[in-house]
Amino acid sequence: MLRGLTVHQDERLHPDCLRYLAGYSEKVLDQVRELVAQGRLGEVLSRRYPAAHVIRTDRALYDFTLGLKNQYLRSSSPLGKVLYDTRITAERQALGLHSYQGLVQGARIRTRNEIRIASLFKSAPLEFLRMIVVHELAHLKEREHNKAFYQLCEHMEPDYYQLEFDVRLYLTLLEQGETLYGPAGPETTPASG
Ligand SMILES: [Zn+2]
């Protein structure tokens, strides 16, 4: 695919994958609307996810991502930079960004993968961060959101679909001008797993 190119870059904003709650049934949407109307969405989420994670720096995010990659995708092309990015916002329908660069080095092409995570995940449950990192890591192997892609996501995170839904609930909460843990989140020890 990259043959003949000295530099190839493709940034994928994948706008379709995490649009708040589009695609869920009316029944589900009604339940969410009711929680929002009652002002109980935050309460429901904080009961399920009582603490924010402590992966606050790009360095910590890199280590976290590399740990997951080494566990599940060791043979995939190496990670480049991994960082939180304030320019990625849910309003622009993106939560993460995976870009790759094919560099011709002599006879072979080396791919450098960069992962950017929306900085709203800095103050979020560990499960939510894990879900979005798993999503971006799965793009190392599958560029499209096809069946193989979601199977890979589920392999890395068995609760992938539930977490994706809960992330959408979380975005809905943020849209209401509420937060779960305040802007920085409490200092807690990260949950295991
Ligand atoms: Zn995607």
The domains of the chain are located at: 7-15+25-175
Give the helix/strand (H/E) hosting 7.
strand 7-12
Distance of CA 3 from the midpoint of ligand 1 (Å):
24
Beta bridge partners of 66: none
Sign of the Cα torsion 13, 14, 18, 21 reads positive
If pLDDT is split at 50, 70 and 90, which confidence band does 5 have? Answer: very low
Q: What is the pLDDT of residue 108?
A: 64
pLDDT for 186 beyond 60: no
Q: What is the whole-number distance in angstroms between the Cα of residue 37 and the centre of ligand 1?
A: 31
Residue 161 is encoded by which pair of tokens?
């679909």
CA 39 – ligand 1 centroid, Å: 31
Q: How far is the CA of 89 from the centre of ligand 1 (A)?
A: 14
More confidently predicted of 22 and 133 = 133
Listed in sequence order, the residues at least 6 apart from 180 whose beta carbon sits closer than 8 Å to its beta carbon are 42, 45, 46, 49, 52, 123, 124, 125, 170, 173
Q: Tell me what percent of the residues of the chain surpass a pLDDT of 70.
A: 75
In the predicted structure, residue 39 carries a pLDDT above the cut 90: no
Tens digit of each residue's pLDDT (9 = 90 or more) over 107-157: 666 667 889 999 889 999 999 999 999 999 998 898 888 999 999 999 999
Which range among 26-30, 79-83, 182-186, 189-193 has the greatest average pLDDT? 79-83
Ligand 1 centroid from CA 160, angstroms: 13
Distance CA 33, CA 14 (A): 26
Residue 63 vs residues 39, 81, 133: alpha-carbon distances, Å: 37, 11, 12
Residue 164 Cα to ligand 1 middle (Å): 12
CB under 5 Å of ion ligand 1: residues: 14, 17
How close is the Cα of 144 to the center of ligand 1, in Å?
A: 7
The fold adopted by the segment(s) 7-15+25-175 is Zincin-like (3.30.2010)
Question: What spacing in Å lies between the alpha carbon of 17 and ligand 1's midpoint?
Answer: 6
- Going from the Cα of 42 to the center of ligand 1, the distance in angstroms, rounded, reads 26
Distance 48 CA to ligand 1 centre (A): 25
Query: Would you state the pLDDT for residue 12?
Result: 36
Whole-model pTM: value is 0.79
The pLDDT value recorded for residue 102 is 60
- Distance (Å) from CA 174 to ligand 1 centroid: 21
